[in-house]
Chain A
Amino acid sequence: MRPLGQPIEISSDRVLLIGGGIGIAPLFFIARKCISESRIVRILAGFKDDSFRLVERDIMRLNIDYSIYCEQDHWANPGKVSEGLADIQKYSEYDIYCRGPRPMLKILQNKLSEHRGKTVAILEEWMACGVGVCAGCAVKIRQDQNGYVYKKVCSDGPAFNLREVIFD
């Protein structure tokens, strides 16, 4: 159903959600789904400043483990959300879903390159038609060893294998 794209599959009993800025918005839906299915779910959220400070209230309402990071203001752990993966072994049994700015996703792609579980990037692009016809919302996805193909966020996505996304 475009532009909602394809359903996001959740298969693991342990799910880590990593959100950057407003990217955290869709992760609430995944979190509630996991909670309703009795999966273990954890959130790492990162923000530039305190403009999203109120979102902590919404995260607390989920009643799950979470950590918040802030780059400029000090209402949360200092630094970028990727700091939350400092002890990456803690999440070795987790499937990881990420949503946020491309620079953040690129950092996570590097940090999670050896991760055993699933790593999923939930992407966003400017859309015109939203139904898979105009090819405006293209994202570059690795295909074969050196090749790539352009897929459409509105109809093929929004979730893609983080390892296969090419962040030019």
Chain B
Amino acid sequence: MTDHFVPGLAVELGDLKLKNPVITCSGTFGSGVEYANFYDPSILGAVTTKSFSLSPRQGNPPPRIFETAGGILNSIGLQNPGIDQFITDDLPLIKNLISMPY
């Protein structure tokens, strides 16, 4: 019986030790918890949340996305509920969902 080879994917990024090099792009992953509806984010090496501001921001007037020949341009305008809400509401969820880097 052949042993299955499991490649080692662990990487180091500065002081961070990640179990694999797959990291979400900032701005695409909301507050880090929304995609848990679709898959387990803890399988990723790291998660980057969308940027948060001190005070809540409404963001830019629409349209915020425009299709180009090479893809899309977007200018959301940093719509976010503010850092306080992130700390109070989202961070506890993230800690539950996503394992700490090892």
Interface residues of A (CB under 8 A from B): 125-129, 131-140, 148-150, 168
B65 A127 Cβ-Cβ under 8 A: yes
Instruction: Count residues of chain B with CB under 8 A from any CB of chain A.
Output: 21
Q: A126-B66, A150-B62 are in contact. List 4 more A-B contacts (CB 8 A).
A: A126-B63, A131-B37, A140-B62, A150-B79
Q: How far is the CA of A148 from the CA of B30 in the complex (A)?
A: 22
Q: How far is the CA of A132 from the CA of B28 in the complex (A)?
A: 11
B75-102 vs A, CB cutoff 8 Å, 1 = contact: the mask equals: 0100100000000000000000000000
A-B contact pairs, 15 of them (CB 8 A): A126-B66, A126-B67, A128-B74, A131-B34, A131-B35, A133-B28, A133-B34, A134-B74, A134-B76, A135-B76, A136-B64, A137-B62, A137-B65, A138-B62, A139-B62
B21-53 vs A, CB cutoff 8 Å, 1 = contact: the mask equals: 000000111100011011000000000000000
Closest to B31 in A: A133
Secondary structure dominating the interface of A: loop
Q: How far is the CA of A126 from the CA of B65 in the complex (A)?
A: 6
Closest to A138 in B: B62
Closest to A132 in B: B34
Residues of B within 8 A of A138 (CB): 59, 62, 64, 76, 79
Q: How far is the CA of A126 from the CA of B38 in the complex (A)?
A: 22
Residues of A within 8 A of B38 (CB): 131
